[in-house]
Structures are given as structure tokens and as C-alpha cells.
Amino acid sequence: MSTEERALAGRYVLGDPIGRGGMGEVWRATDTVLGREVAVKTIDLGRVPDEAGAARFEREAKVTAGISHPNVVTVHDTGVEGDTAYLVMELLPGPSLAQQLADGPLPVEEVVSVGRQVASALEAAHARGLVHRDIKPGNVVHADDGRVRVVDFGITQLGEATGGQALTATNTVMGTAEYLAPEQALGQRVDGRADLYALGCVLYALLAGRPPFSAATPVATVMQHTSDPAPDVRALRPDTPAWLASLVAALLAKDPADRPVGAAAVVESLTTRTAPAVAGAAAATTVIPASGADPTQRLSRTAPVPPVPPPPLDAGPTTRSERYDQEPRRGSSAPLWVIALVALAAVALLGWYLFLGPGASDDPSATPSSTPTTSAPSSAAPETSEPAPTTSAPEPTPSPSESPTADDPAQAVSDASAALADEVDALDREGGIDKDAAKTLQQEIRDIDKALRDGDAGTLVDVRNSMLEEYGTNVDSGAIPPEAADRLDPLVQDLADAVDAYDEAQG
């Protein structure tokens, strides 16, 4: 886009660029209708490889615009004009945390204040089913009211590159390597706990002056996130309070289930200056865990239930009342190179058996071939009167695409809809949910089923968005109590994910 004067939607006159990324730019602009200065973020959809990018951008932007929070940038308008998607926001004076870090680490008290505000913003976003996916110092900017604002909600869903350190993979979104959660780097399911990991990286950077992991290349940095233990921030910042160091360490846990139970728990720790509430810990604090693309899960005032090992991918749906922070992680639990090493070891063991094990030549001078065979045991094993034991490589965990419903998005939506309907009915019978809230959910589930039967992906997505918004409102108002939300959150998210997958499959 040139720097010549250009008006979007006939009202937003773009001025000078004030920020630039791999596919997006931020412009100082004037709203000629309301006569105010604004910031306009533009995305060149022609450079987004996903054909459904424009539609997804619009959906995410609508959800973002629905967040009203003092620590989330205010969104005034959004739309698509030609190949340009745009988001109109309040104009922030800055600086960003990235600009502040250029001058060195921040005072501990300022780090605590900034961390509390960012965690509060994440709590509000997660309650609406929105995962940021790119929390980093450059996306936290100071406003003129003295607070900080988190920016770029929803835009990261498109996979916006930022600088030279952005990564992407099929069915994932881009993130910045130094602030990328392990599960995000491995292409596994990403939820609100990935944002909490990124927040841990930000807190570490604000205290130490640099992020916890940083290597010569983005790939090397990602490998550190997935395999290297998190460094103790006190090694670089000795005056860091013990409780704050413990919070940073908990946020940087490799396993999402070992991180604080939600953004509200982080706010609690940064407010009371105590160690964070972590899944499985013997705590009795009421917290509201964040859910990435999930609505917020709320835990009761009882001690959390110890974490349950996730079931295998082919074991069917998890227990409906299973806590959000214990839901199974989809995808491989280890990097591919680990699986490859196991397979090579198994092949070597099989070769040893074929040439040196029972049934090999009785001639002491006979030696095995210098090139071991890799043919199947049935054709290579010598004939013997007794059945020989076999050794085979362990089968790798099936990927999400191999799951029973991965190739049938419509069935996945139907299954998720039925599971949510069953749980809503159960809560309604138990009196654990407001009657009107139950009726609203039941009607939206019926609308989803009808749109699915009609094959109307557009209506299906609209109902999905309406359901998420109504659900978040009922949770916030108490119409859906914390105990009920604890049971419904994972089911609502499963249905939302299934609808998104169906929409993408329909093109």
C-alpha cells in the first residue's frame, strides 16, 4: 500500500505508517465521519495462503470488538475492501514494552503492574473464546490513561508475520519464536494456556532484559522451548522476589496442565504476591482459568482434583466434567525425531534377531551380512520347529487427522453438539443452571443441528459465534454458575472447534 492518501470504507483516510509486519501494517488515520484520529491495521489478504482468510478475519474481528476491557485496545470498526482487511482501533501514544526493553529491564514493581494488566486482558478475551496466540512485548502498548493495552487480538488468527522471527505451520497460526508455547511450536491444539506461557516469557524478558529462550534461528529457538528447561529468572535478576520467580517458572511449564489454572489465577498471584494456583495443587482459591479458543472455565472453592492422564486419541470423548486444564492434547506428544529414533532402534533390534538370534547358522565362522535386511520377518526368518518371538517397532500415536471423525467434519459437529446438549439437559434437570440460559443454549444447539443438516456453513458459523457470545454473557452474569461452567466449557469449545473445521472443509 502506498503512502499516498487513501480512504477505506469512504471514511478512514490513511496517513503515515506507524508499524509494519510481514503481512500487516498499522497506519495513523483520520475518521472523517467522527473527526478523530485512529489507528488502522491493514492485512493484505492476497498474501494470506488461506482462501478462507477474509471470512475468518471478519469473524475474529467481531469477537475482538465485543471485548470491553481497560487493558484491551478498543476496536471501533472492521471490514474488508478488495484484497485489504482492516481493523480500526483507538490510537495509542505508546511506547510498547518492546521499545521500553530496548533501554533495559524494568523495575520489579512495574513488571508486576504490567503483568497484572496483561493477565486481566487475557482473562477477558479467554472468557469470549478468543486466544491471542502472539503475546509479546511489541503487542503491549501504553495508553494515554496510564494503563497498557494488549493489541492484535484476532489478527493473529490470520497468521500475521512479525519481523523476521515468525513461524507458521499447517492448521496453526504464526507466533513469535521467542514467545511461542511448546504445544504451539509442535502444531498441537492451542488454547488459552499458550497465552499464559507467552506471558511468562514476557515477564521473564521484562525482568531479565531478554526472553528466556533465544537462539541464532527461529527453529533453534523453538527447539529450546520444546526441550530445554526454563532458566531461573533470578540468575539474571537476583532481586526478583521468590513468589514472582515461582510464578514465572509455573507459566513456563512445558506441559500446559502444569501452568497456572487460568489468567485469573495469574491476576490473583500478581495482586496478592503469592505463588500461583497450579492444576493439581492443594489450593482452595477461587480462580477462573483462561481458555484460548475456549470460554473461561471456572473452578469451585474446593481443592482442585488431581490431574487425570489424558486418554489415547482413539478412546473417544473425554469425561464431560473433566477439567479444562486436564483435557487431552491432540497431536503427537513428542517431536518427530524422538519417534524416528525409537523406530530406528526397533529396526536394529529386529536385524540383530534375524542374523544373530535363534535360528542363525550353527557355523561359528559364519558372520551376518554387512548390510542388514529390512524385509518383513515372515519372509526373512529361518524356518524353525518352534515359533520365534517377534520384535516390532511401537506404533506411533495417531495424529489428529487419523482420528475417527477427522475426515468427517460434519460428524464431528454432530457428536460435539450431542455431547453439549446432553450436559445442558443434565444441568437443567439438576437445577445447576438458569432456566433461560439453558433454553438459549438448547435453542442454539438445535439451530446448529439444522444448519448442519442443511449444509449451510455460513449459518453454522453465525450460530456458533452467537452461541459463544451468549455463553460468555451468561457466565459473566452468573446465569451459568462456576460449577456449571466448569462442566460446559470444554464441550462448548469442542463444538466451536468442530464448526470451524467444518467451515474450513467447506471452503
Residues 383-428: tens digit of each pLDDT: 444 444 444 444 444 444 444 445 688 898 888 888 899 899 889 8
- Which set of grid coordinates corresponds to residue 109? 514493581
Number of domains in the chain: 3
3-class secondary structure, 13: strand
β-sheet with 84-90: strand ranges across: 6-8, 12-20, 24-31, 36-44, 84-90, 75-81
Other CB atoms within a 10 A radius of the CB of residue 420 amount to 25
Ranges 198-202, 340-344, 462-466, 493-497: which has the least confidence: 340-344
User: In which element (H, E) is residue 353 found?
Assistant: helix 336-356
- What type of residue sits at position 12? Y
Residue 332: inside a domain, yes or no? no
Q: What are phi and psi of 36, to 5 degrees?
A: -135, 155
The catalytic residues are 134
Is the CB of residue 467 less than 8 Å from the CB of residue 441? Answer: yes
| pLDDT at position 470 | 86
Is the CB of residue 467 less than 8 Å from the CB of residue 451? Answer: no
Looking at the structure, tell me whether residues 81 and 138 fall in a common domain: no
Residue 343: inside a domain, yes or no? no
Looking at the structure, tell me whether residues 47 and 118 fall in a common domain: no
- CA dist 225 and 308 (Å) reads 24
Give residue 504's pLDDT band: very low, low, confident or very high (50, 70, 90).
confident
Q: How distant is the alpha carbon of residue 444 from its chain centre?
A: 25
Tell me the CA distances in angstroms from 20 to 9, 42, 372, 473, one per residue in order: 21, 10, 56, 35
Q: Is residue 79's pLDDT more than 50?
A: yes
Last residue of some domain: 63, 90, 117?
90
Q: What are phi and psi of 235, to 5 degrees?
A: -65, -30
Looking at the structure, tell me whether residues 17 and 113 fall in a common domain: no
Residue 399: inside a domain, yes or no? no
- CA dist 444 and 467 (Å) reads 6
Residue 171: inside a domain, yes or no? yes
Q: Is residue 21's pLDDT more than 50?
A: yes
Residue 389: inside a domain, yes or no? no
User: What burial class does residue 74 get, using C-beta atoms within 10 Å of its C-beta: 0-12 exposed, 13-18 middle, 19+ buried?
Assistant: middle
| pLDDT at position 347 | 58
Greatest alpha-carbon span in the chain: 96
Q: Give me the CATH number covering residue 61.
A: 3.30.200.20
- What type of residue sits at position 267? V
Residue with cell 493489541: 151
Looking at the structure, tell me whether residues 201 and 108 fall in a common domain: yes
What is the average per-residue pLDDT within 345-361? 54
Ranges 314-328, 419-433, 472-486: which has the least confidence: 314-328
Looking at the structure, tell me whether residues 143 and 260 fall in a common domain: yes
Looking at the structure, tell me whether residues 105 and 84 fall in a common domain: no
Looking at the structure, tell me whether residues 171 and 300 fall in a common domain: yes
Q: Is residue 298's pLDDT more than 60?
A: no
Looking at the structure, tell me whether residues 116 and 15 fall in a common domain: no
Question: Got the DSSP string for 148-184?
Answer: EEE--TTGGGG----TT-EE--TTS--EEGGG--HHH
Which of the pair, 293 or 488, is modelled with greater confidence? 488
Among positive and negative, which fits the CA dihedral 170, 171, 174, 176?
Answer: negative
| pLDDT at position 276 | 82
Q: What are phi and psi of 379, to 5 degrees?
A: -100, -15
Last residue of some domain: 238, 273, 308?
308
Q: Give me the CATH number covering residue 127.
A: 1.10.510.10
Other CB atoms within a 10 A radius of the CB of residue 253 amount to 20
Residue 140: inside a domain, yes or no? yes
Residue 432: inside a domain, yes or no? yes
| pLDDT at position 295 | 34
Q: What are phi and psi of 314, to 5 degrees?
A: -95, 15
Domain hosting 438: range is 404-506
Looking at the structure, tell me whether residues 105 and 80 fall in a common domain: no
What is the average per-residue pLDDT within 7-30? 85
β-partners of residue 28 are: 39
User: In which element (H, E) is residue 282 found?
Assistant: none
Looking at the structure, tell me whether residues 159 and 212 fall in a common domain: yes
Looking at the structure, tell me whether residues 141 and 289 fall in a common domain: yes
- Which set of grid coordinates corresponds to residue 339? 519417534
Other CB atoms within a 10 A radius of the CB of residue 195 amount to 31
Looking at the chain, the whole-number percentage of residues with pLDDT higher than 70 is 65
Q: What are phi and psi of 368, to 5 degrees?
A: -70, 160
Tell me the CA distances in angstroms from 136 to 106, 199, 314, 414, one per residue in order: 15, 7, 36, 37
Other CB atoms within a 10 A radius of the CB of residue 444 amount to 21
- CA dist 493 and 507 (Å) reads 21
Is the CB of residue 409 less than 8 Å from the CB of residue 499? Answer: no
41 labelled binding-site residue: yes
Looking at the structure, tell me whether residues 269 and 168 fall in a common domain: yes
Residue 331: inside a domain, yes or no? no
- CA dist 120 and 430 (Å) reads 32
Last residue of some domain: 50, 68, 90?
90
Residue with cell 496442565: 257
- CA dist 356 and 360 (Å) reads 6
Which of the pair, 277 or 501, is modelled with greater confidence? 501
